Structure 1
Amino acid sequence: MREKKKYTMLVVDDEAIISDGLKELFEEEFSDIFQIYNCYHPKKALEIFKYRMPDVVVSDVKMPKMSGIEMAEEMRKIKPDLHVLFLSGYDEFDFVYSAIKQDADDYILKTEGDGIIVQAMKKMTELLDSENLFMEEYKSAQSKISYMAPAFKQQALVHILDGTIAADGEFRDAMMELENPLPEDSKLLLLIGTLQEKVTQITQEKILETVVQLLQKAFGDKISYIHKVMYRKSFVWLLESEDKELPALLFVSALDIQKMIQLRLGLLMYFGIARESVGWKELCSGYSELWTEMQRQAINEENSIIMESRELYISDSFNGEESDFEQMLTPITEKLRMMEEFLSGENFPAFTDLLQDILSILVKAKRHSLYALEIYYSLGNILIAYINKKNIRPQLASRIQLMELFDPGSFVTWEQAAEYIIRLTSSIQEICMETQQTTMMSITERTKTYCLSHLSEDLSLPVIGQAIGFNPVYLSRIFKQIEGTSIREYIEICRMDLARRLIRSTRMKVYEIAEKCGYQNPAYFIKIFRAHYGMTPQECRDMG
């Protein structure tokens, strides 16, 4: 394998003897440094140049159709850092001096001899070595800066979140060297993520970047940039956006992000979403308030995404928008908490009663009331938490638009929003009833299958309940509701049917058939058989 040379040189002269002679001279003196090419015409030289991209060009000044100066100008358009050594005949040297002094690294008279030319090329080599060393040091420095940049930014974001950086001057100094600094005047939306499990730093970075990519894919231009940082064992994303609807839209997207993280990494991430975007100075208090809200709402598997809200009281929430509000004393927040409990326990009548109370307040609010918006979002939080708990999003999606749940701007009036909430609640209740019916039927079928497979064994309710995995009393009630008969009656019918088939198709003795059908007392078996068929087992067999 041929050794790769350090630099490349192109020699151009329209006199072949000079071009070839210079090539031989340079190969003799610099064979370990330069890979050398030569040609006899500027146009051909340009072709070679584009392919070889030489570091140095040695050229005659005066050549047919294109001068060496013109050729060098074309080459520098392709490679601005090109080094050029011009050779000139004595007669035209003074003529071209004023032109080449701006473009050439050096210029030599052809009559000065090989020693001067070699010396000039040695200086050129030293220049190339010096430039290479500088570029290597520069790239190394840039690499170190690039490597450390994320750490610098992480540190700056941490100082902002904990309030260490609070003054404008401190903020500008911290942001000055960062590639993607926080905006000084724009708003940022806080998104906090937390895990129950401890994970490695690599996993933390993977989660931070995964969420950034998913958000960018989901919202595109709605978010200008996403900053990310680990802060106090929590994952923090700062979303540059002026879109006031983003918090609501983010709630829905967070559900998909949550599932993606669970699918990819096997981790359940809990999210907290700020109520609104804030300036960088409010990030410290904004983080504390959102984190406190996440703890207050007892974030867990069933309530894994929290949207920041405020304690609402009917007496002051609407700031006197309607006089009716002033007369009510019960806090809305307390009603919302009761609704959450009722829905969790699937007490739909009680839930619906409280829902009607709150919606009757909502419809009286002014269209752009911030407090009405918070009530709407609070209802949305309760409903979406239940939807996630029951995993019924796919069924709901075929019946009603779920995106509207967190897009109140799609409604012209609060009356329309209230009607939507009622329709959504009705759909949830219908699906739950259908699901409950399906579940009850499944339990019943499993009970029947177990009984049929164990007719010769003990089939008391406790035994069946343990086998199926349900409380015997609950199991008995479900079975009676679906089948219209008790489990005991069903078992007796199945045993008698089996007994008749064995009597007619086998020569087994009556006591053997009794045991096969789960009766240890033959006399009792005969009594039950006669009660069912109006004859004894023997009479049944005699009849054929």
Structure 2
Amino acid sequence: MKRLLIVDDEPFIVNGMYEFMLLGSGLELDVYKAFSGDEALEWLQRTKMDIVISDIRMPSMSGLQLLEVIRKRWPYCKVILLTGYNEFDYVYQAIKHDGVRYLLKTEGYDKILELVRVAIAEIDEARKSEDLIATANRQMKMALPILQKDLFTGILRGERHTTEQRNYLFRQLALLLDAESEVFLIIGRLENTNRAESTIRVKMAFERYIGNEYKSVFLTMEDNLLVWFVQPMKNVRVEGAQEDRLEIKGSEIGQVIVPQLKGMLELVLEMCEATFGFTVHFIIDGQSASWEQVADRFAILRAGSGSLPAIGGGGSIVEYPYPKPNTSIAIENETLDLAMRQMKRMDLLANFLESGRREEFLELLKELLYSAEIAIDRKMVHAALGIYYPLSLLLLSHIHTWQMEQRFNEVNGFVPQVIRDPSTSVNQAAEAFRHIAPLLFEWRQNAQNSHAHTAISHVQDYLLANLDKDLSLVRLAEVSRLNPSYLSRLFKQVTGVNLNVFIQEARLNKAMELLRDSDYKVYEIARLAGYEYAPYFTKIFKKNVGVSPQEYRDHLNKSQ
């Protein structure tokens, strides 16, 4: 909704144009009025205006002086200046500014409406103009490294995307990696060196020796960790494979790719040590991983990267081994590893919960609970509780923040007790978390709806108690502490009625009540109902009620 300010020192002109723009233009406008340049300045200091219609000749501050203020404060505001015929030559020279038009007062509302429509079209067009698009594209290009890092950092934390979403994101961020193919992870760890300078150099060496054969994305992490996501430039095949087996995955592709990558990493390592004089350690995943597996693989590699010592002052290259020995110790270690990796995803789960991303939250929760149940099946209750306790703390904190304690306590059965202390019934904990999770989103939505209704109820109470005062959208936004456009949308969403229509009906109802129950004169009732200009009130009243205010009062008196 565009905001339109009408400025003139003649009330009948302002009120007539206000009525026309608000009720007769057919445009969805938020219309304001000012009876002097100084009053217009007050509005311009309180809120942004999209269009200003102003008389040129006004006492105290002329329309041209007001124009200069508008140009400085709201440079994208469109201005329509109104004046008499004999000022044309003077005005023509004075208003050679972009976004400013001149109109004779004698040309009428239809011509003014035409210029307002043109102004609205220009505003809309400017928002999608070639210059803005070019600027946005340049800014997007500059921001690509940051956006790419955010995306891949999220993937390492366990954030999931559908294949369609991933394809879209990769295209938008100009990534060469294939969103549907598996990927190799390589982790590097710098040792006792200037991190910023060494990171640039090791990245340069990596691109020199590996960039011709492989596509990659590079990230820097905390603790001097470097991470590469790597894919071959083209499909890889095993020697002697059939033509229909060009696409190979997992450990089979690892047999082809990993030895080559290790050989290339040796060249990178030698360049860093011999040319640049610093040590770096690499750990490479022994098989490719799907994008859904990347977070778990990264957690394992990261844990292993901390145990890579320098031997003889040099770096190292280690391949994460496959498969693991099938022993009870290996199974126990694998279970603990799985539980630890899931615990590290609690931050991501909390982010999904706080941002209201229900489906992602429930999907990740499902994975966490599955890992806990595996631990319980393997008689490793401590590993399961390592997931349940942080999860309990997260949900209870959310319940407290959103003041859901009463609803939580009213949940039947064992659920509240187990959520508070999962150790009281470890075998029922997963069921309790599955039961409560969707309820949190339902309760939160209800709370948000309640907050919205409370806010709108407060606005309604205010305007009904202040019908004779300023009830502009800007003023109501100040009262509700919401921005004007959001308040307008929220009011319509909650009540089903446009805010301006609600105010108009409330003022007319107030006027009818005063006409019926008081001895005030019509012009006094107009002011008490919020109409500053009595003729305007009479016109609006007759248009909506069918008779003039005096005729309405006379009819009531006759019927008594």
Q: TM-score range by the shorter chain?
A: 0.3 to 0.5
Q: TM-score, normalised by structure 1?
A: 0.38
Kindly name which structure, 1 or 2, has the bigger radius of gyration based on alpha carbons: 1
Q: TM-score, normalised by structure 2?
A: 0.37
Q: Which has the higher contact order (CA 8 A, sep 6+)?
A: 2
